[in-house]
């Protein structure tokens, strides 16, 4: 199997990596870069646990090969935090008790982050539709929806992807 | 170039490789893509968004037996433009780009934005392409139906140059198209319709708000002048090995004065042309019933969109 050298911009830094053609982005993030905040649930595109932001858009890292994103910019849950302070979305998810086991949370937050980046003042309906990208088996959706509404208000268009 | 420190991370010894692919190719242009495909024969496959070939199906990794992947996502095939008497759509255009385009908001092309909105989730639609949707040739491919009623022409590039394939001759069987292995679908051309045309797409899922392929999906188009139908298109999905046009039902509408009764009759006739199967999503009998309902509703909606 042929190795390839790729360069990707992850959470503010460039990484030069030797990857195999058959490596998925989710595996490279978790196992090569130690960014284990991104979760794998189904591995088939159904659950959204592996959602990251790729060039400003929410995508599923289980359905992307690492070689496909050579030269691209990726943001994971670890890159959201601003200095020592949590990101408004992270704060809102905790203050609104929108997290139970937390397995779906990084995916939900990254999905919401791309939404707010592309649409700074989403209404409740838009947020609900957006969060339907992510399966949550314990908290449900009401609290996450409230958390995203609150975060969008707190952010006032100050977004990062 | 984005700012940031440069880091090098070694691969962890215990990290296993997910897919057994020999080599990933990123051709610099279309000619090179065709060359690579020709060189490796059926051991090579095009990858666009990857949302069909990367997910496992029933535990099986589909691409493990493909040795060479040819990435066409950086060949400039992502475009939408209206020029002369066609709309030109690059095969690499993502479903979200189609869904957001003002080109498809108006009456004649409304079915395309309906279908783009009903396809999967926004996270998948950010990667999934229209070309991949057609070339995967699933019986329930959502974008196939509006493109069928819009009489799209598909442009394929191969070693001998380009050729045009009317979409009606494109689908040959489940996951099987008119393309040869060394060909790349490059463009979809939609002939401009008269402003008196309306089209719409409807999709029934097991759960209407969940991500799911269709139980049945349909697209229709109507060209009418003062309630008289000049031409009609009805395309059915998920009820035969390939998405197809229900010609008998269409011919009942062409030339007729549009009424509730004739629309109902055509919808029932369309259901008669369907050959559905029982599977995990539905039974054949239910699919037949639902085809009649969806075709009726879609025709009514296309009629409202005429002249919009
Ligand atoms: C969770 C999930 C939900 C989904 N929901 C839907 C849905 O609701 N409706 C629906 O229709 N589909 C759905 N799909 C299927 C898939 O997302 C679509 O068919 C998508 O449009 C495929 O595009 P792609 O670019 O990702 O294709 P790829 O996976 O890159 O390619 C698909 C096939 O087409 C070939 N190919 C791609 N582009 C070309 C080209 N230009 N020339 C020649 N061959 C080419 C590839 O070799 C491959 O065989 C879903 C998939 C997942 C994982
Ligand atoms: S792990 Fe990627 S969608 Fe479930
Ligand atoms: S909090 Fe457990 S899955 Fe969502």
Q: What is the DSSP letter of B272?
A: H
pLDDT at B135 over 70: yes
pLDDT in tens, B42-86: 999 999 999 999 998 778 888 877 899 999 999 999 999 999 999
pLDDT in tens, B249-282: 999 999 999 999 999 999 999 999 999 998 888 9
> What integer pLDDT is reported at residue B154 of this predicted model?
98
Best residue among A51, A139, A143 to mutate for probing ligand 3's pocket (most ligand atoms within 8 Å of CB) is: A139
Report how far residue B139's alpha carbon sits from residue B36's, in angstroms, rounded to the nearest whole number.
Answer: 29
Quick check: A51 and B123 CB within 8 A?
yes
Q: Would the pLDDT of B207 be above 90? A: no
Interchain CB contact of A59 with B (< 8 Å): yes
Tell which one of B133, B139, B173, B178 to mutate to probe ligand 1, the residue whose CB is within 8 A of the most ligand atoms. B133
**pLDDT value at position B209?**
67
- Are the Cβ atoms of B126 and A130 closer than 8 angstroms? no
Last residue of a domain, which of A59, A78, A97? A78
> Per residue in B85-105, pLDDT tens?
999 999 999 999 999 999 998
The ipTM assigned to this model is 0.96
DSSP chain A: --EEEEEEEETTEEEEEEEETT-BHHHIIIIIS--TTS--SSSSSSS-TTEEEETTEEEEGGGSBGGGGTT-EEE-GGGT-BTTBPPHHHHHHHHTT--SS-SSHHHHHHHHHHHHHHSSS--HHHHHHHHTTS--SSS-SHHHHHHHHHHHHHHTT----
Pair A140, A111 in one domain: yes
The distance from CA A143 to its chain's CA centroid, rounded to whole angstroms, is 18
What is the structure's pLDDT at B29?
A: 98
Same domain? A30 vs A92: no
Residue B274 CB partners (closer than 8 Å, separation 6+)? B236, B239, B240, B246, B287, B288, B291
Question: What are the structure tokens assigned to B279, written together?
Answer: 């599977």
The CATH code that applies to domain B80-191 is 3.30.465.10
- Residue A160 placed within a domain: no
The residue among A78, A111, A131 that closes a domain is A78
Q: Where are the domains of chain B?
A: 5-71, 80-191, 197-305
Chain B CB contacts of A18 under 8 Å are 11
Residues A29 and A48 in one domain: yes
In the prediction, which pLDDT does B213 show?
Answer: 85
In the CATH scheme, what architecture does the domain B5-71 have?
2-Layer Sandwich (3.30)
From A78, A109, A142, give the residue that closes a domain. A78
B217–chain A nearest CA distance, Å? 20
Q: Closest ligand 3 atom, CA of A134?
A: 4
| Ligand 1: lining residues by beta carbon, under 6 Å | A 45-46; B 45-53, 55, 72, 91, 95, 119-120, 124, 127-129, 131-133, 135-136, 141-142, 179, 184-185, 211, 213
* Position A105 in a domain: yes
- Closest Cα to atom 2 of ligand 3: A101
Q: What is the pLDDT of residue A102?
A: 97
Q: What is the pLDDT of residue B53?
A: 94
In a shared domain, residues A84 and A149: yes
* pLDDT per residue as tens, chain A (161 positions): 889 999 999 999 999 999 999 999 999 999 999 999 999 999 999 999 999 999 999 999 999 999 999 999 999 999 999 889 999 999 999 999 999 999 999 999 999 999 999 999 999 999 999 999 999 999 999 999 999 999 999 998 888 88
- Verify that A32 and A91 share a domain, yes or no: no
- Put residue B84 in one of left, alpha, beta given phi > 0 → left and psi -120 to 50 → alpha: left
Residues lining ligand 2, judged by CB closer than 6 Å?
A 40-43, 45-50, 60, 62
pLDDT of residue B308: 65
Report which ligand 1 atom has the smallest distance to the Cα of B203: 8
The rounded Å distance from CA A101 to ligand 3 centre is: 5
Please tell me the predicted confidence (pLDDT) of residue B210: 67
Hey, what CATH topology would domain B197-305 get? Enolase-like; domain 1 (3.30.390)
Mean pLDDT calculated for residue range B233-246: 97
**Does residue A39 lie in a domain region?**
yes
**Which residues span the domain enclosing A130?**
80-155
pLDDT in the model for residue B13: 80
Q: Does residue A161 belong to any structural domain of this protein?
A: no
Residues A51, A43: Cα–Cα separation, whole Å:
11
Q: For ligand 3, say whether the CB of A138 is within 6 Å of any of its atoms.
A: yes
Q: What CATH number should be reported for the domain holding residue A148?
A: 1.10.150.120
pLDDT(B106) > 80 = no
Distance from the Cα of A92 to chain B's closest Cα (Å) equals 22
Closest CA to A139 of A110, A102, A92: A102
Closest ligand 2 atom to residue A61 Cα is 2
Strand order across the beta sheet in which A51-54 lies:
A57-60, A51-54, A73-75, A3-10, A13-20, B6-8
Between the CA of residue B179 and those of B58, B132, B135, B169, B183, what are the distances in Å? 26, 12, 8, 10, 6
């Amino acid at each position: 199997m042929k190795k390839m050298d790729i360069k990707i911009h992850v959470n503010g830094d460039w990484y030069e990596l030797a990857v195999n053609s058959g490596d998925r982005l989710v595996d490279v993030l978790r196992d090569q870069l130690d960014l284990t905040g991104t979760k794998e649930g189904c591995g088939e595109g159904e659950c959204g646990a592996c959602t990251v932001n790729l060039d400003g858009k929410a995508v599923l890292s289980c359905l992307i090969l690492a070689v496909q994103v050579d030269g691209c910019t990726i943001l994971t849950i670890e890159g959201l935090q601003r200095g020592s302070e949590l990101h408004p979305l992270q704060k809102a998810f905790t203050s609104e008790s929108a997290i139970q086991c937390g397995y779906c949370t990084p995916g939900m937050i990254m999905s919401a982050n791309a939404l707010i980046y592309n649409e700074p003042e989403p209404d409740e309906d838009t947020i609900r539709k957006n969060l339907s990208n992510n399966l949550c088996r314990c908290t449900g959706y009401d609290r996450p929806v409230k958390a995203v509404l609150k975060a969008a208000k707190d952010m006032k268009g100050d977004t990062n992807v | 170039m984005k700012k940031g420190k440069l880091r090098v991370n070694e691969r962890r010894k215990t990290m296993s490789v997910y897919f057994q692919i020999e080599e990933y190719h990123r051709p610099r242009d279309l000619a090179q893509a065709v060359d690579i495909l020709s060189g490796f024969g059926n051991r090579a496959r095009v990858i666009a968004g990857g949302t069909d070939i990367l997910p496992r199906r029933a535990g099986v990794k589909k691409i493990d037996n493909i040795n060479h992947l040819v990435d066409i996502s950086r060949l400039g095939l992502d475009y939408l433009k209206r020029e002369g008497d066609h709309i030109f759509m690059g095969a690499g255009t993502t479903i979200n780009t189609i869904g957001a385009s003002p080109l498809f908001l108006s009456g004649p092309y409304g079915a395309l934005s309906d279908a783009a909105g009903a396809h999967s989730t926004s996270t998948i639609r950010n990667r999934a392409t229209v070309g991949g949707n057609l070339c995967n040739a699933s019986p329930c491919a959502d974008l196939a139906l509006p493109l069928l009623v819009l009489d799209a022409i598909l442009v394929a590039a191969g070693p001998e140059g380009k050729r045009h394939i009317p979409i009606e001759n494109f689908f040959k069987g489940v996951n099987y198209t008119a393309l040869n292995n060394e060909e790349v679908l490059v463009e979809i051309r939609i002939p401009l319709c008269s402003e008196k045309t309306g089209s719409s797409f409807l999709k029934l899922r097991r759960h209407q708000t969940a991500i799911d392929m269709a139980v049945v999906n349909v697209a229709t188009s109507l060209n009418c002048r003062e309630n008289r139908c000049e031409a009609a298109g009805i395309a059915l999905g998920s009820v035969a090995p390939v998405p197809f046009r229900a010609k008998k039902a269409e011919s009942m509408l062409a030339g007729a004065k549009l009424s509730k009764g004739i629309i109902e009759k055509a919808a029932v006739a369309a259901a008669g042309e369907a050959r559905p199967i029982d599977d995990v999503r539905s039974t054949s009998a239910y699919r037949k019933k639902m085809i009649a309902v969806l075709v009726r509703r879609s025709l009514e909606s296309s009629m409202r969109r005429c002249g919009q």
